[in-house]
Structure 1
Amino acid sequence: MGIILIIILILLGGGVFMYLQQPQFGQVATGDRLMRMQQSPNYKDGKFVNRYPTRMLPEGYSMAGEVYRTFIKHTPRKYPVDSIPSVKTDLTSIPLHQNILIWFGHSSYYMQLDGKRILVDPVLSGAASPLPIGVKAFPGTDIYDVADFPTLDYLLITHDHFDHLDYKTVIALQPKVKQVVCGLGVGASLAYWGYQHDQLVEMDWDEELEIATNYKLYTVTAKHGSGRSIHPDNTLWLSFVISSPSMQIFVGGDSGYDVHFKEIGKSFGPFDLAILDNGQYGEDGFATIHMSPKYTLRAAQDLQAKRLFPVHSSKFVLSRHAWDEPLLKISALLAEDKSYLVLPKIGEAVDLNDRQRIFDAWWEGVN
């Protein structure tokens, strides 16, 4: 029996190893790319580290327990029964001079800002997991595909978790992308998937990229993590500051709450718009690397944001709250100042110059 068990374990291990060799799991950095990572002050003992003490899970919680509570244990209304309301906007017909934002659910969105077309963390494949039985998009949320996009000046990747860097989407986008801006090490996977050297800009925290006259992109710290396989935190996670001629926008990606938001606000604020993680949190599990609504609002205030666009919700189940809880809670916190929140339907065009618009509570009545 012992020999049989050993054989079974070897076969299982071999099967897992072979499965992880599939291209969607990406490539680890080597050569000059790895050397640059090793020179970063944020890289220690073979991986990137947060600037502030961070646990993936609080003491007493396990990843197995989180998986059970998220995907197996029943949570009321964790999945919507109805189709999520959405609008299909023709992205190719929007005049380039218009400052527009369009959300695709979760943390994927498109911006036209002062003549530049920018796409952030696109996940358009219908899944946020490489597993065949993995995390699927809610009905109604996957109404766009790569064919709907114009040529993109910049593709911004905040980090390489599967719900932010989607293999099927980015390989299809490659011919339409002029430049990708991502964290150190993420370019290894993108190069493996067909992106050319001159398309890739890999950046550390606290760096800047000149886009045009009076137009810059800054990288700033986030409190999160990274990794696509068995190597955690072997690439760098980022937030971005977009400083265009007409406005200042914070692109948060994923981050837990900490003093870095106040520091970024002092350095770059006030912001015309802060786009912040507000979903797939737990008040206990994952509370240190994501934000629940009260912390999302606090982060926006620390950033000195004039308006807040809360994202990371309404498309995938990656935690155990009800699907619409992030929207209900953030709206309740700002019930007296509804113009502060940017809460569009998926696919709805948002005029970034219209700073007084109050959005309909589109999630109300959706079961």
Structure 2
Amino acid sequence: MKRFKRITKGVIVFLLCIMAVLAVVTYFYMKQPQFGALPEGERLERIKKSAHYKDGKFRNLVEKPTLSEGYSFTGEIWEAITKKFPRTEPVDVLPSVKTDLKAISRDRNVIVWFGHSSFFLQVNGVRILVDPVFSGRIFPLPGKPDAYKGTDIYSVEDMPEIDYMLLSHDHYDHLDYETAKALQPKVKYVVCGLGAGAHYEKWGYTGQQIIEKDWGEQVDVKPGFTIFAENTHHESGRGFKGSQALWLSFYIQSPGMNVYYSGDGGYSSRFKEIAEKHPPIDWAIMECGQYNKAWQSVHELPEEVAKATAELKAKNLLPVHHSKFTLGKHPWDEPLKEITRYSQDKNYRLATPMIGEVVNLDDSTQVFKQWWKNIK
């Protein structure tokens, strides 16, 4: 019995030592710059004054469980490890177009989508870059997920000088360390939620470049041109402590064109409210992809995207958050198939450009192919 107790005690000590070593290794690994920084000092004091920051973290307007009823975190993790879902990424190389962004005249109103939620928007001569991820990866650890073949064709070097870079939230698939750091000399201003400026500051951005906003606040670009920071129902975080930087959607109002970008987030009443608050929306750029019934509260399903777009009273819909990385269980092309199906007989027009294809915002006759068909 004594020998058994000695062995048991030795095993426990050994396991505790292993756990301690792993904790130390993890601590120092998380100090690497790609994980960003938590807000502190004056930035943290400003955050604490926000009505949306309570008990040490940012909150959604209506709080509800991240996981839908009937699902569990352990069950979801176990299913992800043990079950293989069909066609979650394409076998074929996806078609794309390499557009010379620097050659696009300032007098054109255009969008160029780079896959997932990254896109270039030019309206009334203002160049805007949204949630850029050009490293081909969306997680700072070895292994999947990587960008699909044919999708990672743009780089920081391809970007023109940017007036405003917008960040919806600080998850890795929207805020990429390598991309953000390399873009710093090209970006005049970055507009992000409260707290997210800590990441950019750590990565070499100056205080003059960083504009942090709370929900309902705005950035006055020039007469008649305003960027509004609006709410969404989501979360944030790059380390163990989550929801320390606010997540945003954006309403961009310009003299000749109004654009709304949803960012990530589950369906809520905000779409009706935004339509009531702001002038008519010409283009709605909506998250549509990497969804899951289990995570429906923080990622819309395609039928909800169609419903939300109709409630926004948008004239045109461009779905994003798909066709570059696999983060959901659905077939890679399902978001495009489903939003096409749900958009039939709606009052808005659906735009489904290839990666890199120029979307002419003023041209209501532009035709978009269903480029995903017949791709394995």
* TM-score under structure 2 length normalisation: 0.95
How many Å separate the matches in 1 of 2:138 and 2:82? 17
What is the match of residue 313 of structure 1? 322
What is the match of residue 159 of structure 1? 169
How many Å separate the matches in 2 of 1:315 and 1:65? 26
Q: What secondary structure is seen at the aligned counterpart in 2 of 1:178?
A: strand
How many Å separate the matches in 1 of 2:173 and 2:92? 22
How many Å separate the matches in 1 of 2:82 and 2:178? 27
What is the match of residue 96 of structure 1? 106
Q: State whether residues 338 and 358 of structure 1, in contact with CA within 8 Å, keep that contact through their aligned partners in structure 2.
A: no
How many Å separate the matches in 2 of 1:307 and 1:321? 25
Q: State whether residues 315 and 347 of structure 2, in contact with CA within 8 Å, keep that contact through their aligned partners in structure 1.
A: no
Which one of 176, 179, 190 corresponds to residue 169 of structure 1?
179
Deviates more, 1:9-18 or 1:90-99: 9-18
Shift of 1:65: 3.3
Q: State whether residues 341 and 358 of structure 1, in contact with CA within 8 Å, keep that contact through their aligned partners in structure 2.
A: no
Shift of 1:70: 4.2
Percent identity, aligned pairs only, is 46
Q: What secondary structure is seen at the aligned counterpart in 1 of 2:17?
A: helix
Matches for 1:260-275 after TM superposition, within 5 Å: 260-275=270-285
| 1:82 and 2:100 aligned | no
Shift of 1:269: 4.0
Deviations 1:315-365 (A, max 9, x none): 111110000000001111224469710110000011000123231100001
Q: What secondary structure is seen at the aligned counterpart in 2 of 1:198?
A: coil
How many Å separate the matches in 1 of 2:77 and 2:155? 29
* Aligned amino acid, residue 313 of structure 2: Q
What is the match of residue 6 of structure 2? none
How many Å separate the matches in 2 of 1:181 and 1:72? 40
How many Å separate the matches in 2 of 1:124 and 1:220? 26
Runs of 4 or more, structure 1, over 4 Å off, are 336-339
How many Å separate the matches in 2 of 1:55 and 1:351? 40
Which one of 51, 62, 65 corresponds to residue 52 of structure 1?
62
* Aligned amino acid, residue 276 of structure 1: M
What is the match of residue 348 of structure 1? 357
What is the match of residue 34 of structure 1? 44
How many Å separate the matches in 1 of 2:347 and 2:62? 33
How many Å separate the matches in 2 of 1:138 and 1:292? 22
What is the match of residue 83 of structure 2? 73
What is the match of residue 241 of structure 1? 251
Shift of 1:12: 1.4
Deviations 1:18-57 (A, max 9, x none): 2111111110011110000000000000000000123221
* Aligned amino acid, residue 146 of structure 2: K
**CA 1:45–1:339 in 2, change beyond 3 Å: closer, same or farther?**
closer
Q: What secondary structure is seen at the aligned counterpart in 2 of 1:161?
A: coil
* Aligned amino acid, residue 368 of structure 2: F
Q: State whether residues 138 and 173 of structure 2, in contact with CA within 8 Å, keep that contact through their aligned partners in structure 1.
A: yes
Which one of 298, 301, 319 corresponds to residue 292 of structure 1?
301
Q: State whether residues 314 and 348 of structure 2, in contact with CA within 8 Å, keep that contact through their aligned partners in structure 1.
A: no
- Which structure 1 residue ranges, 5 or more long, are not aligned? none
**CA 1:263–1:75 in 2, change beyond 3 Å: closer, same or farther?**
same
How many Å separate the matches in 2 of 1:122 and 1:278? 17
Shift of 1:136: 0.8
Q: What secondary structure is seen at the aligned counterpart in 1 of 2:183?
A: helix
Matches for 1:169-188 after TM superposition, within 5 Å: 169-188=179-198
Shift of 1:268: 1.0
Q: State whether residues 235 and 243 of structure 2, in contact with CA within 8 Å, keep that contact through their aligned partners in structure 1.
A: yes
* Aligned amino acid, residue 49 of structure 1: R
**CA 1:315–1:67 in 2, change beyond 3 Å: closer, same or farther?**
farther
How many Å separate the matches in 2 of 1:322 and 1:71? 17
**Which of 1 and 2 has greater Rg?**
2
What is the match of residue 364 of structure 1? 373
How many Å separate the matches in 2 of 1:321 and 1:278? 12
Deviates more, 1:246-255 or 1:9-18: 9-18
Q: State whether residues 344 and 350 of structure 1, in contact with CA within 8 Å, keep that contact through their aligned partners in structure 2.
A: yes
Q: What secondary structure is seen at the aligned counterpart in 1 of 2:139?
A: coil
**CA 1:68–1:139 in 2, change beyond 3 Å: closer, same or farther?**
farther
Q: What secondary structure is seen at the aligned counterpart in 1 of 2:208?
A: helix
Q: What secondary structure is seen at the aligned counterpart in 2 of 1:347?
A: coil
Q: What secondary structure is seen at the aligned counterpart in 2 of 1:326?
A: helix
What is the match of residue 132 of structure 2? 122
Q: What secondary structure is seen at the aligned counterpart in 1 of 2:21?
A: helix
Q: What secondary structure is seen at the aligned counterpart in 1 of 2:24?
A: helix
| 1:252 and 2:262 aligned | yes
How many Å separate the matches in 2 of 1:95 and 1:66? 48
* Aligned amino acid, residue 354 of structure 1: D
**CA 1:93–1:197 in 2, change beyond 3 Å: closer, same or farther?**
same
* Aligned amino acid, residue 59 of structure 2: V
- Total equivalences in the alignment: 366
**CA 1:71–1:217 in 2, change beyond 3 Å: closer, same or farther?**
farther
